[in-house]
Amino acid sequence: GYPMTPGGASGAVLAAGGGSAAAVAARVALETAACNNEAADECAARATALNAWAAAVEVLVSRRIDGAGNTLKLVDMVLHACLDVLLDSSRRTEVDNDLAGSLLRVASVTMATLSAARAQSKRAASGAAAGVAAVDGRVAALSRHSPSELAAVAAGALPKLLQVMSDAAGSASSGAGSVGALCRLYASVLHTLDCAGDEAAACAAVRAAPQQALARLARDALASSEALQELALRALDACLAADAGGTTVEQVLSAGVIRGLLHGVAGAGGRAAVAALTHASAVSLRPACLLEAQLSLLLRIAISRWPASAEALLRAGALRSLAACEALGAAAGNVGSGVGGVGLEAAHAAAAAARGV
């Protein structure tokens, strides 16, 4: 037989053909196929490893696996490792979308569990005084840590999450820039801010957030995808809540998001929410949830400490838009009798704040 040179089977074909054009073409085809197979194998191996990593994180945050009680430290290390790889990969010319998606899944699962653990830890602290024991075993390992310890881990991860968001906004090829990846990213930011609570580090991180990150968040608050829009609205609301000084509000207002929000509330968004709330056959309550998120953000803007926020709402026609919203005051027949329209209290509060009441 023919000796197997570094070219493998392609070398044998070339030797048989005596260097003819057909043999060269065959060699190129075989080498291309070999490269493709190698790349496919590498992608499959990476996907398997990342899925195993994500599963390991889920186990890690739900079970105490070490006798020394360092569960939170291990979670913190894994979380920052994921974010570092995300930041590194987002700055490359060729971005692996599967890699970004898997890492964002790890980040979102971790932050959601940290947030749940902090809530349970706070309940356990208050329940201990009343003689009530915590029962949620899914976050048992982490909830043994104090709320302040959990909040510190979340606040420490927030700057990197915001930087990932900035990279996604600045690069069209970023693996974190797809709709699915952005949903996970915004969910991670939302859970992180929820877990961080009133930590000063969280406020500082939001104030120091890259301009591109906040601009992307404001732009996605008007996205065509309802799932992405709702998560962006809630993440933006949480950012404004964390920044009590009002700097973030000013940056958001400069993005022109208020007029878009009011247009959705007064127009098709309000009508879709009415249909979702009043028709028993409604397939989804997402339009109502989306409207609630829009009203909540408008209220957050209205009550912010930035002096011009209420004035900006008035100039944009907030009172007229709220009055035109068909969902306000509509009976929520499929939710329960006696339940008022979605976001009614929030809308009234926003209107009062806009009037300066």
Condensed to tens digits (0 to 9), the pLDDT of residues 196-229 reads: 887 788 888 888 888 888 888 888 988 888 889 9
The answer to whether residues 66 and 148 belong to one domain is yes
Report yes or no on 11 lying in a domain.
Answer: no
Residue 14 amino acid letter: L
Report yes or no on 340 lying in a domain.
Answer: no
Q: Where are the alpha helices (DSSP H) in the chain?
A: 9-17, 21-60, 71-90, 97-130, 140-143, 147-170, 179-196, 200-207, 211-220, 226-242, 247-254, 257-266, 268-278, 286-302, 309-315, 318-324, 344-355
Domain range for 290: 254-333
The answer to whether residues 200 and 118 belong to one domain is yes
Last residue of a domain, one of 243, 274, 309: 243
Condensed to tens digits (0 to 9), the pLDDT of residues 175-187 reads: 566 788 888 889 9
Top pLDDT among 17 and 320 is at 320
**CATH, residue 225:** 1.25.40
Average pLDDT over residues 106-122: 84
Is a pLDDT exceeding 50 seen at residue 338? no
Q: How far apart are CA 55 and CA 206, in angstroms?
A: 30
Report yes or no on 12 lying in a domain.
Answer: no
Condensed to tens digits (0 to 9), the pLDDT of residues 27-66 reads: 778 878 777 777 677 767 766 776 676 666 666 665 555 4
Condensed to tens digits (0 to 9), the pLDDT of residues 124-169 reads: 777 655 554 445 555 666 777 788 888 888 999 999 999 888 887 7
- For residue 22 the two structure tokens come to 């057909």
- For residue 269 the two structure tokens come to 């968004």
- What does the pLDDT read at residue 60? 64
- What does the pLDDT read at residue 14? 44
Count of domains in the chain? 2
Sign of CA dihedral 117, 151, 175, 249: positive
The answer to whether residues 222 and 293 belong to one domain is no
The answer to whether residues 232 and 266 belong to one domain is no
- What does the pLDDT read at residue 172? 54
Report yes or no on 109 lying in a domain.
Answer: yes
Last residue of a domain, one of 243, 278, 300: 243
Average pLDDT over residues 293-300: 89
